[in-house]
Amino acid sequence: MNDIKTLKGWIEKGGKVVITTHQNPDADALGSSLGLSLYLQKLGLETTVISPTEYPGFLTWMEGNDDVVIYTEEMDAEIENMINEASMIFCLDFSSLDRINHLGEIVRASGAKKILIDHHLSPENFYDFSRWSTDAAATAELVYELIVEMGDSHLMDPEIANCLYAGIMTDTGNFKHSNVTRNVFEICAQLIEHGANISEVTRNIYDTNSFDRLRLLGFSLNKKLKLIPEYNTAYIALSKEELRKFNAQPGDTEGIVNYALSLNGVLFAALFTEKDNLVKMSFRSSGDFSVNDFARTHFSGGGHKNAAGGKSEDSLEETVIRFENLLKEYKKQLS
Ligand code: 5GP
Ligand code: MN
């Protein structure tokens, strides 16, 4: 079933294709989805990329962005139809259907062939075909490899290359995380060969801050950063009120957690952001401490060993207290 011939057979049959990715998509989620979409269009397929939520302005430069369907309650019936009419549904950069909110159950119930392309731990078994590897730094890396495996490298173009490069660049933290491999650099070299514009993608993603966003970062570091030396842990908690004060837009808090991790000696970093009915958490670690396990065990989340996320329905204050208390259980690993 996982033979490439199976996928080729489904593609030859044609039909409508839905590509979907996790809520609050990042550059890998959106870049791998749009890169795949542009490629499948070249094979003559009609594709729709569906995002479960809005995403940051620093991703909207990607080719195909204008045609992305963003889930809203008003669009519910229309999106359900799109999913039900599809002959293939590609699920990119997430490993369990709860990551696409209530679209998950529609995808699960659909009769379409489901294709998982992902690099997160512990995938749920809902798919008919997969290219899944936790050794891949980014889902974009797996999409690149799939296009090669299909025998279609010649279909790669600068737009596809830019989308895929964005995913690899950001999921490796601009090539500094432990997931960077020789394969990452080899694929990036190939993407440059196909026309990826490295400086332009980098500028679009990292150098398009709004004034408010940069001031939110300054405030977070100056006023909100907490260091717990005993557990080599640092965290930042931002209330709704504080986020409002800086007019925070989707994506504005992305990357803040990495500053906490950049403190000398810190092994575990967290960012708490208060939303309407929940607290969203971003966890990062360096070395052996698994934030995937931590997020999965205590905060209904998951991700990768060194980068994961979770959520809590308690108040921001209660969540932070719970977090601090939990550190005691991990004293040995964090000392
Ligand atoms: P971030 O902190 O950048 O939002 O997410 C870090 C990693 O954890 C990403 O790979 C993301 O997909 C994953 N992740 C973030 N939040 C959640 C969550 O609530 N559940 C699960 N399973 N994964 C998450
Ligand atoms: Mn990813």
Atom of ligand 1 nearest to the CA of 96: 22
- For ligand 1, pick from 20, 22, 259 the residue to mutate: most ligand atoms within 8 Å of CB: 22
Buried/exposed code over 239-261 (b: 16+ C-beta within 10 A; e: otherwise): beebbeebebbebbbbbbbbbbb
Q: What CATH architecture is 4-206?
A: Alpha-Beta Complex (3.90)
State the DSSP H helix or E strand holding residue 52, giving kind and residue range, or none if neither.
none
CA 127 to CA 80: how far, in whole Å?
A: 18
Does residue 271's CB lie within 6 angstroms of at least one atom of ligand 1? no
CA 163 to CA 62: how far, in whole Å?
A: 6
Q: How far is CA 217 from CA 14, 56, 58, 253, in A?
A: 47, 16, 16, 8
Among 43, 149, 52, 42, which Cα is nearest to 92's?
A: 52
What is the fold of 211-334? Diaminopimelate Epimerase; Chain A, domain 1 (3.10.310)
Please name the residues in contact with 209: beta carbons below 8 A apart, sequence gap of 6 or more: none
* 171-182 pLDDT, tens digit each: 999 999 999 999
pLDDT over 90 at 168, yes or no: yes
Does residue 301's CB lie within 6 angstroms of at least one atom of ligand 1? yes
Instruction: Give the residue-averaged pLDDT of 136-143.
Output: 98
- Arithmetic mean of pLDDT over the chain: 98
Alpha carbons within 13 A on the beta-carbon side of 226: 14
Ligand number nearest to the C-alpha of 269: 1
CA 309, 258, 20 angle in degrees (round to 5)?
Answer: 40
Residue 133 near residue 121 (C-beta atoms within 8 A): no
CA 306 to CA 145: how far, in whole Å?
A: 24
The reported pLDDT for the residue numbered 145 is: 98
* 297-321 pLDDT, tens digit each: 999 999 999 999 999 999 999 999 9
- DSSP-derived letter for residue 71 is P
Each domain of the chain, given as residue ranges in start order, spans 4-206, 211-334
| Residue 270 CA, ligand 2 centroid: distance in Å | 19
| Residue 303 CA, ligand 1 centroid: distance in Å | 5
pLDDT over 90 at 330, yes or no: yes
Q: How far is CA 328 from CA 225, 285, 308, in A?
A: 20, 16, 20
The distance of Cα 124 from the centroid of its chain, to the nearest Å, equals 17
CA 87 to CA 319: how far, in whole Å?
A: 42
Does residue 280's CB lie within 6 angstroms of at least one atom of ligand 1? no
pLDDT over 90 at 281, yes or no: yes
pLDDT over 90 at 95, yes or no: yes
**In this structure, is the dihedral angle defined by the CA atoms of residues 5, 7, 9 and 12, taken in order, positive or negative?**
negative
Does residue 310's CB lie within 6 angstroms of at least one atom of ligand 1? yes
* 243-279 pLDDT, tens digit each: 999 999 999 999 999 999 999 999 999 999 999 999 9
pLDDT over 90 at 103, yes or no: yes
* 250-260 pLDDT, tens digit each: 999 999 999 99
pLDDT over 90 at 1, yes or no: no
Buried/exposed code over 51-62 (b: 16+ C-beta within 10 A; e: otherwise): bbeebbebbebb
* 189-231 pLDDT, tens digit each: 999 999 999 999 999 999 999 999 999 999 999 999 999 999 9
